[in-house]
Amino acid sequence: MTEFVALLLGVHAHQPVGNFTHVLDDAHIRCYGPFLRVLHRYPDFHFAFHCSGWLLDYLLQHYPQDMRLLKEMVRRGQAELFGAGYTEPVLAAIPARDRVGQITQLSDYLKQKLGQAPQGAWLTERVWESTVVPALADSGVEYVTVDDYHFMCTGKRAEELTGFYTTEEDGRTLDLFPISEALRYRIPFAPAHEAVRYIEGLADDTGQAAAIYFDDIEKFGIWPETYEWVYERGWLKDFIEGVLASSVIKPMRYCDYHRQARTRGVVYLPTTSYSEMNEWTLPVPAAHHYADMVEREKREGRWETSKPFVRGGIWRNFFMRFPESNWMHKRMLSLSHRYHALPDHLKNQDMLHALYQAQANDAYWHGLFGGLYLPHLRRAIYNALVSLESMLDAVAPRPRKEIRDLDLDGRDEIFLHNDVLQAIVRTDGSAAICELDAYTLRHNFGDTLMRQTEHYHRKVHANGYLQHQGEGIANPHERISFKHAIFPDDLQTDTHSKSIFIDQWQAMGEAPIHMQYALLTIGEDSLTFESITGIPGAVQKTIRLDGRVIKARYAFGKNASGRFSVEINLAMPSCDGPAGRYRMGGEILGGFGTPCEIEAFEEIWLEDEVLGGKVRLASSQPVHFRAWPHFSVSQSEAGFEKIMQAVTVVLGCDVANVKKNLDISIEIIKS
């Protein structure tokens, strides 16, 4: 038999729910559109295409001409559509019934809009857990793609991974295609002729060999340097023509290969993702130890052998690493349970739409990619969560106060809500508000991010910049660059969560201490705490919900003396952009991105055009006001950058000057 290799090439297009429209437009101009237009010129070059439902909906509305090209390529048998969850959730992280619902919704949408129901599915971030098999099979999916790394973790060798294998779970079967890492790192980074030659080297005379590729389409124009490389310098054109000119490479759709080939046998994969993700899920110092071990294995020439057995964490570790991610996730799970518990006649599509949007993966994790550090992506999750909760309350009201350990940290949270606001208060000793929801604005003002030490801070400290050498372009996994100047102060970590109403006491001549409280009473719309820290005199703190106002009242004992301060962290959507400002009376004091100080403060407005509302912050007595932007240092494929997470306000006073009680109130108003 003549030597032959099937080229199974697939691309995955996705933008996070809540991403800016100018980012979507730029992605289409530099990547999605050019890619489809080039492929359309070569009908014999077969390929697979996956697009998340949220992005596909946008492209169909705003770029119908290019979408018609895709539909034509589907119709003529050139392109195969792949499914997944509609909003691109990590399937393993959402309830089983939502897995089926998300997958079938996208499959139905693809059939309706582009004329083909998918047989295969893309796994978000290639996160594999065997528990997803039943949902995929029950949704009509016959095969998925995962990394060859997943297979090597079972002891498979690279030369065995030129076809698909079969797995099973709970009586359902699913076929698994191993994506070649060698191809992922060559396409499109190596010169086209080298990539073609490598694929030709995989040919054999069995008639079953396949070169399997499925990766982010953003590599073809959005990643640094790639637009010029792929389109202006003609990499994609040269690669396609090189493949079509080859006597041994046959580009095929996955469905055609799957129909004519047979499984290579049974396989059971471990819970894992791609190898870089396994590092990103680890906290410091474990991430340092892992990276050092990898570097040592590479330096000593053992990495290719030891790589499958030197594994880091799993994707769900992000819920352990980041309490903010865990909180969002558990809020989503709770609301999913409430939605599905409703009688069918009370459910509606708006509820389901909000639930699925809250399950989009991007804002739940962080690495070189992932959007946990991006406030607008977390805001989109909370927008969906708060909207869904409001709709559920309208048809199935819940108690005005609830006590439960939502985030599974061993300490209860107390939920207080009315028709316009919800305050969720921790009983961890801080007596602080971890979530403050305004239902009319669909916004959580407590959506901030605590700064913690990250593995990549080592690279920032080193201030290194790696210049790629040789022909081709740099893979972002191998790059170090800086979008912003990063200084040591930017890498300071937080000692406490960035919540609302965090209190601090400083006795004369002593260091400040964070207040600790014990819960005294739970009222109809209020909570009262008593200080338990060793300070002169007692402090009683009462948090009260009153219409659109949340108030903290501090009553100091007769013998109390010292400096008292209250920290308030507010998630303002405009961040350090031009749409947010401080206003006192008729005077604008500056934007949220600049520090602000008022010696005798009683009232200020935080106006935010992105929010579509404003916040009135007031004190019952004159206090010292300081505010500044809370930044964190993040990494992305574009480099290290500083991102504003919240406005931090600290109100301080000498207790001796307080007459009776000190009331700090936050009023939220929709514009």
Positions marked active-site? 125, 216
Burial of 222 (0-12, 13-18, 19+ CB in 10 A): buried
Could you tell me if 607 and 583 are in contact, meaning their C-beta atoms sit under 8 angstroms apart? Answer: yes
Could you tell me if 247 and 42 are in contact, meaning their C-beta atoms sit under 8 angstroms apart? Answer: no
In sequence order, the 6+-apart residues with CB closer than 8 A to the CB of 501 are: 431, 432, 433, 541, 543, 552, 566, 567, 568, 664
Q: Name which of 118, 213, 198, 196 is nearest 161 in CA terms.
A: 213
CA angle 235/238/244 to nearest 5° reads 140
Residue 652: helix, strand or coil by DSSP?
strand
Q: Using the CB atoms, write b or e for 233-243: b if 16+ within 10 Å.
A: eebbebbbebb
Tokens of 118: 């998918």
Tokens of 504: 């601090």
Tokens of 7: 């080229």
Number of H helices, E strands in the chain: 20, 27
For residue 285, say if its preceding peptide bond is cis, omega within 30 degrees of 0.
yes
**Strand 443-444 and strand 500-506: pairing?**
unpaired
Q: Beta-carbon neighbour count of residue 246 at 10 Å?
A: 17
Q: Name which of 532, 368, 372 is nearest 447 in CA terms.
A: 372
Separation of alpha carbons 32 and 496, rounded Å: 43
Q: Name which of 103, 43, 98 is nearest 74 in CA terms.
A: 43
Residue 86: helix, strand or coil by DSSP?
coil
Could you tell me if 650 and 626 are in contact, meaning their C-beta atoms sit under 8 angstroms apart? Answer: yes
Separation of alpha carbons 422 and 424, rounded Å: 7
How long is the chain?
A: 671
Name the strand (E) or helix (H) holding 626.
strand 613-636
Separation of alpha carbons 187 and 181, rounded Å: 10
Separation of alpha carbons 201 and 620, rounded Å: 77
In a 13 Å sphere around the CA of 585, the CA atoms on its Cβ side amount to 3
Separation of alpha carbons 656 and 560, rounded Å: 8
Separation of alpha carbons 386 and 49, rounded Å: 33
